[in-house]
Amino acid sequence: MTNKKIAFFDIDGTLLDHDKKLPEKTKQAIQKLKEQGVYCAIATGRAPFMYKSLREELGIDSYVSFNGQYVVFEGKEIYKNPLSEEALQKLHVHAEENDHPMVFMNEEEMRASTPDHDSIRQSLGTLLLDHPAADEGFYSGRNIYQSLLFCEGREIEQYEEAYEAFDFIRWHPLSCDVLPKGGSKAEGIKKMIEAAGMTMGDTYAFGDGLNDIEMISEVGTGVAMGNAVPETKAVSDYVTTDVSEDGLSHAIYELGLLK
């Protein structure tokens, strides 16, 4: 690839504002980046089917999904890192005993372990997503790249101690992402820049959540949104304004990616 720079954008709280809308200035800035030869990609905890319309609106067909476990470059799968089915089954049984529901996701769809649970509805509702249909054995014989475990506060600690195959990252007061151990957006980004023939030093990343820490720490220039959690701001090279104040486009110009 001849482009000299590549930029990765988180979705929620970065590309999309607090109302899950794409600010016009953000859309314009990304179009200009592409016109000026900066390669643009998405890096998100979301599943690909959750942001297909956003990719189409921005004209982006390279993305890191499931916090790095499923990577697509130029429309082609280049990396897949599913959860251990054996460990996931054990976790499911454990969670059922504690009345902690789960959601299982692959690149095309998601299913819940129970047909109706308020914690699932509340947390996914913040992403403007409906409660998934139930299929408690959905993970059997399928590649599951990320699961959601619905529990509160320190309840997650029992799972962290019991399952060495997984990392647990809280994204909502009622829900944690379940990822393969060591999996992160940073690992997915490494796979993509290798495919693109670029280097980490030429890479920019923009994010706001706990799942953005590794990505922002390891790229050449890591940018935290003004609305980012303190832990993400602490490892960033630059902190921009809040997403509601056009923080993304502001950072793109301040860093000289656009002039």
Q: Are 200 and 193 in contact (CB under 8 A)?
A: yes
In 50-175, alpha helices (H): 52-58, 85-97, 118-125, 157-162
Of 10, 202, 208, 246, the active-site residue reads: 10
Hey, which residues does 5 pair with through a beta bridge? 38
Strand 70-73 relative to strand 63-65: parallel, antiparallel, unpaired?
antiparallel
State the DSSP H helix or E strand holding residue 169, giving kind and residue range, or none if neither. strand 166-172
Q: What six digits make up the tokens of 123? A: 């947390």
Q: Which amino acid is at 250?
A: H
* 52-145-235-73 Cα dihedral, nearest 10 degrees: -50
10 part of the active site: yes
**Residue 210 neighbours by CB under 8 Å, 6+ apart:** 169, 170, 171, 229, 231, 232
- DSSP code at position 224: E
Q: Are 252 and 258 in contact (CB under 8 A)?
A: yes
Q: How many CB atoms lie within 10 A of CB 218?
A: 18
List Cα–Cα distances, 32 to 17, 38, 46, in angstroms.
20, 9, 25
Residues recognised as catalytic: 10
